[in-house]
Amino acid sequence: MSLPGLLSRASAIAELPTLGVLTLAGLTPEPWTCSYQGMSEVSDASIEKILADRPDLVAISALTASIEEAYRLSSRLRAHQIPTVIGGLHASVCPDEAEMFCDSVIVGRGESVWPQVLQDVLSGTLQHRYVVPLNTMPLWPMPRFDLLPHSPARFTLQTQAGCPLACGFCGASRLLSQFAEKPVERIREELTAIQQIMSRPLIELADDNTFAGSRDVNPLFDALQDAKARWFTEADWRIGERPDILRRLSSSGCQQVLMGIESLVFRYPGMGDKQAELHRIMKAVDAIQSAGVAVNGCFIIGADGETAESLESLTEFLLDSSLAEIQVTLQTPFPGTSLYRQLQTEGRLLTERGWSAYTLFDVTYQPDCMTVEDLEAGFRNVLRRVFSAIASRRRNQIRRQIRNVARSNLRTN
């Protein structure tokens, strides 16, 4: 996608460090040494760079859309007799597939088994699969931010694992572990490590739904505010009805909240209390933005019941809405989700379109009320209109107004 609004968000995501492998590096003891390399595609140059380090083991993490590239990387390295271990969301829900391309697969959060993996490498007994039960509590090791080759535009920091909700389309970290909140003392330590690299860091919280738990939010806000961090996160609309959060969200450094409003034509199972009427959600959005924090409203196109008429209604709503930013993606049945299982059972998955099509911007299933071609064309039309120059300028103006509110709140406080 070449539309400016989408391109800027894609660039920001691409620059985020891979927190999973940095976390494993934080658990790697001497005499092991570690290096980190992020890559979007496998090239001769990237392979040569890895080979120059003469590694005893290469750990790989990849999401579904890039898993085929990860498999190519593993195959190239194994051809040089370098063992590989892969983990992450996709490998955890498709371990049989991953085992065909990698020496070892970690299913679940890897911290609990990483010391055993390293010991097995040294003894020549690396197992094909290491399984971490979903009910295993995270260990919260310190990520090795110092391994980053340069100071990134944004850092990633996780304040919790998993999510207490079970939205049917969600392929996030709830597939790796049960919901758990990181102790604030550990969060402060990570913020200090990040500050040693960048004094006033820009941080994207790698949470599925910050504030969805039951803990007191003030110590978390204190930690972020003390670090002088500017931060982004994902949360659901209910924070707009929580005065304890609205009072401190902006003053603690929050710049934007990514909020899943989801489909306007279909109610996904598993959303729990997150499910609500649109007018109530938008009232909460206005409360958040009135508190000086921009809301990026996220919408899913292509759920069951989607038609040309519903796409037109969505477009008109987005063009008139008060949202400071929007994200519009196609319904994507990620493996491991109940949505994937449903479409697979119904024979509606487009199996000829491989994992590289699971980008959120490509159709990977047969819609129920439209043809594949009509949904693709309708999706592109929505994007052209809601990311037009005029519509983008309007949202830019909304963001400027919100920034003015945030500055005014800081002066008042």
Distance between CA 371 and CA 351 in Å, rounded? 16
DSSP one-letter string for 324-356 = SEEEEEE----TTSHHHHHHHHTT-B-TTS-GG
Length of the chain: 413
pLDDT-derived band of residue 6, with 50, 70 and 90 as boundaries? low
Residue 239 contacts residue 246 (beta carbons within 8 Å): yes
Look-up: residue for tokens 């739904």? 209
CB atoms within 10 A of CB 369: 16
Residue 10, pLDDT > 80, answer: no
How far, in Å, are 305, 334, 367, 372 from residue 349 at the CA level? Answer: 17, 11, 9, 11
Distance between CA 355 and CA 378 in Å, rounded? 22
Distance between CA 119 and CA 126 in Å, rounded? 8
Residue 269: cis peptide before it, omega within 30 degrees of 0: no
Query: In terms of Cα–Cα distance, which of 375, 398, 256 is closest to 319?
Result: 398
| Burial letters 193-210, b for 16+ CB under 10 A, else e | bbbeebeebbbbbbbbbb
Domain segments of the chain: what residues?
Answer: 18-131, 152-412
Cβ-Cβ contacts under 8 Å for 66 (sequence gap 6 or more): 40, 356
- The CATH code belonging to domain 18-131 is 3.40.50
3-state class of 258 per DSSP?
strand
179 or 408: which carries more pLDDT confidence?
179
According to DSSP, the residues that pair with 326 across neighbouring strands are: 297
Distance between CA 375 and CA 355 in Å, rounded? 19
Which tens digits make up the pLDDT trace of 335-371?
A: 999 999 999 999 999 999 999 999 999 999 999 999 9
Token digits of residue 44: 């001769």
Mean predicted confidence (pLDDT) in 257-276: 93
Query: In terms of Cα–Cα distance, which of 231, 262, 113 is closest to 177?
Result: 113
- What percent of the chain stands above pLDDT 90? 85
Residue 282 contacts residue 264 (beta carbons within 8 Å): no
| 158 backbone dihedrals φ, ψ, rounded to 5° | -105, 130
Residue 56, pLDDT > 70, answer: yes
Distance between CA 26 and CA 18 in Å, rounded? 13
Q: Which helix (H) or strand (E) holds 66?
A: none
The pLDDT value given to residue 413: 60
Mean predicted confidence (pLDDT) in 98-103: 98
Residue 2, pLDDT > 80, answer: no
Q: Determine the residue type at 363.
A: V
Residue 11, pLDDT > 70, answer: no
Residue 287 contacts residue 247 (beta carbons within 8 Å): no
Which tens digits make up the pLDDT trace of 110-139?
A: 999 999 999 999 999 999 999 999 889 999
Lowest average pLDDT, out of 76-90, 170-184, 305-319, 337-351, goes to: 170-184
3-state class of 36 per DSSP?
coil
Q: Rounded to a whole number, what is the largest CA-CA distance in the chain?
A: 63
Query: In terms of Cα–Cα distance, which of 34, 321, 336 is closest to 176?
Result: 336
pTM: 0.92
- The CATH code belonging to domain 152-412 is 3.80.30.20
Distance between CA 82 and CA 103 in Å, rounded? 9
Which tens digits make up the pLDDT trace of 227-251?
A: 999 999 999 999 999 999 999 999 9
How far, in Å, are 273, 284, 291, 295 from residue 243 at the CA level? Answer: 18, 11, 10, 17
Q: Determine the residue type at 281.
A: I
Residue 322 contacts residue 282 (beta carbons within 8 Å): yes
Token digits of residue 95: 């371990």
The pLDDT value given to residue 411: 66
